[in-house]
A and B are shown apart, each in its own frame.
Chain A
Amino acid sequence: MPPRRRAHAKAFGRRGPILVLVGLALAAGGCTYPTFGASHGADVQGQEIGKLYSGMFMAGLVVAAIVWGLIAWSVFRYRRKKHDNSIPRQFQEHIPLEITYTILPLVIVIIIFAFTVITENEVDAVSKRPAQTVDVTGYQWGWIFSYQNANGLTLRTQGAVRSFPAAKGYTADVYPQLVLPEGRPTKIVLRSADVVHEFYVHAFNFGRFAQPGVTNVFEFTPVQTGVFPAQCSEYCGLYHSEMLFSVRVVAYPRYESWLRYQEHHLNQIPKHYPLTQR
């Protein structure tokens, strides 16, 4: 290998990880970071995921750009000229170069893995004293949200799918709605009454399977009030497309008054009410 090319290979070796690090650092440090169309996250956990995604996307673009560049270079530079029937050098190996491009990806994935584990632990953490616990049950094809209030009563809200005749012509408000307090951690206990569903809230950058036989527990700490559309994202049968719901985040005082109000207006269920199948 001539010295010029060796220098080129070395420069790539030096630059690669640095660019990746810069990408990740940009993502971790900046408050406004590009997510390339994905949600920035309307809750603490979702924001962490948004940052990780943004960092990985930028690192990925850098790596892809380098490799695309190398492909483009070899394709344009080494195309056979007309009437040129010469045979190029038949070289086949360059052990130091090959070792370099084995170690390089290894270093990159280990860095990414480190960031992944840090974010993963933050996202999966569940606090000991959540402000509220909501039992969420997915069924074909809707959701049940059950809140425990201070008096030990379970408040249950439920909604139907669009195709049911009564719901025709209505928009988002016929779907079940999960209400969460802003700025406080809410623990979600997720189950399924029949098949596998996925509780997916795009604004929170989060999805988790609701499966028969498995209880999943996780936490949201919303940082933004508003109504966010959400839906089942794991295919669950005929009306999967219509298994929508929404998440409404309100300020904590409003949440408390909403909960008190529900006590008198929603169907109240004694503590050990058996879940109906379907």
Chain B
Amino acid sequence: MTTLVTRPEAVVEPPEEAHGPSGLVKWITSTDHKVIGRSYTITAFLFFLVAGSMAIIIRTQLASPDNTIVSQHVYNELFTMHGSVMLYLFAGPFAFGGLANFIVPLQIGAPDMAFPRLNALSYWLYLSGGIIMLLGFVTTSGAADFGWVAYAPLSNSINTPGAGPDMWIVALVLTGFSAIFTGVNICATVFYLRAPGLTMFRMSIFTWNMLVTAILILIAFPVLTAALVMLWCDRHIGSHIFTVAGGGVPVLWQNLFWFFGHPEVYILALPYFGAVTDVLAVFSRKPVFGYKGMIFATIAIAALSTSVWAHHMFTTGTVLLPFFSIMSYLIAVPTGIKFFNWIGTMWRGSITFNTPMLFAVGFLVVFLFGGVTGIFLASPPVDFAMHDTYFVVAHFHEVLFGTVVFGGFSALTYWYPKYTGRMLNDFLGKISFWLMFIGFWVTFVPQYLLGEAGMPRRIAEYLPNMGWTTLNRVSTAGAYMLFLSVAVMLVNFVEAWRRPIPAGDNPWDAHTLEWATSSPPPHHNFYWIPPIRSERPVWDHYHPEHPVEREHPPRTGGDEVAAARSTARPDSRAQFGSAATARGSVNPEGPSHEPRAAGDPGDDHEGQS
């Protein structure tokens, strides 16, 4: 650990840009976390489009009773693959593969992930796993059709024979290992590669949440992998772990699966919680309210999430209901803390509504309702009434779509300038947001009502006299709106690619270290790192006269502020003032690796270790 004294100012010429390979060769051979992060993001987004298209077919099939757009078999494949692709190939990898890979090293001032080659391996395992899963569609048996949860004994070789389900298992093992490696990598990176001065309680909430997510991955994914190996053995070498006939216990699968499956829900949610927290703070021009409370809430959610898995099994009649019920209820407490902290962050702020902020506020609004209905389902008697109906479908889509898509789009539009050096079109972004926000309610509120009216999930058709037709039609119309919203977002990406609007280093007047370097960052990320005296080093640098007000100032007695003040240069503040208000303003000095203080990244890390 180096000392907290300001580094002496020295001029460092930025070296020539990396003259490594480019194009396809770069993509395949790179171990740079930014290249891998970008590959992850693009790949995951493509899987999102694939799985979203499946959802559109599913909704079209359900728009009319006794519909025959697809056969029952194809329908079963579609909802299985929709769930599997969304959860295993999009939601998780988009967060811990894409965002975390790209952003976490930048936020902690590191030149790369701790294990760059392991990182590349993760990506290639993930990509091959994803392709293998989708290739199931071209086998003679069709893709896996036992639901994304693959309950035994439906998933054995008698009930679902064929290569498609086997490929599903292999794909999950591969992507599971990819996730585990990424988890190891994120933990090691956060623990060992933080820049000098960046203590644990000066990390951004996003990095904190990614760390907790990575730990959850290490808890949850090995269990899934083990369960999948058992399933494979049942299918191919005649073990009877999950079949009654051979003395096995089918319900064991549900326990193992949900021991992975429930932490998985938080593996998907926490990264987006973190991203949204950062976005809310930046666009309110305020620090995160209740910063430490936020971190403890994240840790509490992660801890509780490992002891609530059986709330998916209330109707099995094999679990202790009150225990899993109260544990599930308790998750509402840290989640509530987060909500009030999010509101506190906006409270008395000075809020601008650029696209990332809109998606972040949209996330708050929709996730709240998904969370409240989650409380209902944590009550076993209510779960008896609602389990496996569309109420549950609406609930988990509201929480997952709320976090992964609203939170994900917030994160994507927020960090897009850092990824590419270009701004997205704010107007198109807002159109996309409003289509999605309205489409979201139109899609999922009818599904709550359908669940209350008793429509079970995963049915390919229903009788016309059940009274479910109108609600299904409305829900389908909402799904088309969501599709349109994503299409507008795609147009926005294409626009940004065809007519680039250069983004400065720090277009949002943001707080964290990734905005101290150029957009996109140079090969080893930083030529210069501002002094780190709080969780907002970049803000402190640009606004030294507006540090965080603390009710209990740290024991160092305020010289941190003085230090920040002394290092900040007036000219940089002036330059910043224009960049803050005018979206997409260009840094007049070009990509600013204007040297302010000494230090090349390698140097920093030697100091750490």
Residues of chain A touching chain B, judged by Cβ–Cβ distance below 8 Å, are 35-39, 46, 48-50, 52-53, 56-57, 60-61, 63-64, 67-68, 70-71, 74-75, 78-80, 84-95, 97-98, 101-102, 104-106, 108-109, 112-113, 116-117, 119-120, 123-124, 140, 171-172, 194-196, 198, 200, 202-203, 205-209, 211-214, 216, 218, 229, 231-242, 244
Return the 5 tightest CB-CB contacts between A and B, nearest first: A202-B454, A233-B456, A205-B385, A105-B336, A37-B452
A97 → chain B, closest Cβ, in Å? Answer: 8
Assess the B549–A90 pair: CB atoms within 8 A: yes
* Chain A residues in 8 Å Cβ range of B287: 90-92
* Chain B residues in 8 Å Cβ range of A97: 344
In whole angstroms, how far apart are the Cα atoms of A95 and B341 in the complex?
Answer: 12
* Chain B residues in 8 Å Cβ range of A213: 244, 249-251
Assess the A75–B551 pair: CB atoms within 8 A: no
Report the interface size for chain B: residues with CB under 8 A from the other chain: 98
Query: Which of B243, B291, B350, B454 contacts A93 (CB under 8 A)?
Result: B291
Assess the A120–B381 pair: CB atoms within 8 A: yes
Interface-located stretch among B1-9, B216-224, B325-333: B325-333
In whole angstroms, how far apart are the Cα atoms of A206 and B385 in the complex?
Answer: 5
In the complex, which residues 281-305 of chain B have their Cβ closer than 8 Å to any Cβ of chain A? Answer: 284-293
In whole angstroms, how far apart are the Cα atoms of A229 and B100 in the complex?
Answer: 49
Mask of B376-387 contacts with A, CB within 8 angstroms, 1/0: 100111101111
CB of B460 within 8 A of chain A?
yes
B328 → chain A, closest Cβ, in Å? Answer: 9
Known contacts A37-B453, A113-B325, A235-B458: does B550 contact A106 (CB below 8 Å)? no
Known contacts A102-B337, A239-B72: does B375 contact A56 (CB below 8 Å)? yes
Known contacts A214-B318, A238-B76: does B154 contact A49 (CB below 8 Å)? no
CB of B124 within 8 A of chain A?
no
Known: A49-B381, A53-B382, A94-B344. 14 other contacts (CB 8 A): A52-B381, A53-B386, A75-B361, A86-B350, A87-B350, A88-B349, A92-B290, A92-B291, A102-B333, A105-B333, A116-B380, A212-B153, A233-B388, A242-B461
Assess the A49–B384 pair: CB atoms within 8 A: yes
Assess the B384–A240 pair: CB atoms within 8 A: no
CB of B609 within 8 A of chain A?
no
B60 → chain A, closest Cβ, in Å? Answer: 16
Interface-located stretch among B27-35, B169-177, B362-370: B362-370
B247 → chain A, closest Cβ, in Å? Answer: 10
In whole angstroms, how far apart are the Cα atoms of A117 and B321 in the complex?
Answer: 9
Assess the A71–B290 pair: CB atoms within 8 A: no
Assess the B316–A209 pair: CB atoms within 8 A: yes
Interface-located stretch among B472-480, B540-548, B562-570, B584-592: B540-548
* Chain A residues in 8 Å Cβ range of B465: 171
* Chain A residues in 8 Å Cβ range of B318: 214
A37 → chain B, closest Cβ, in Å? Answer: 4
Assess the B337–A200 pair: CB atoms within 8 A: no
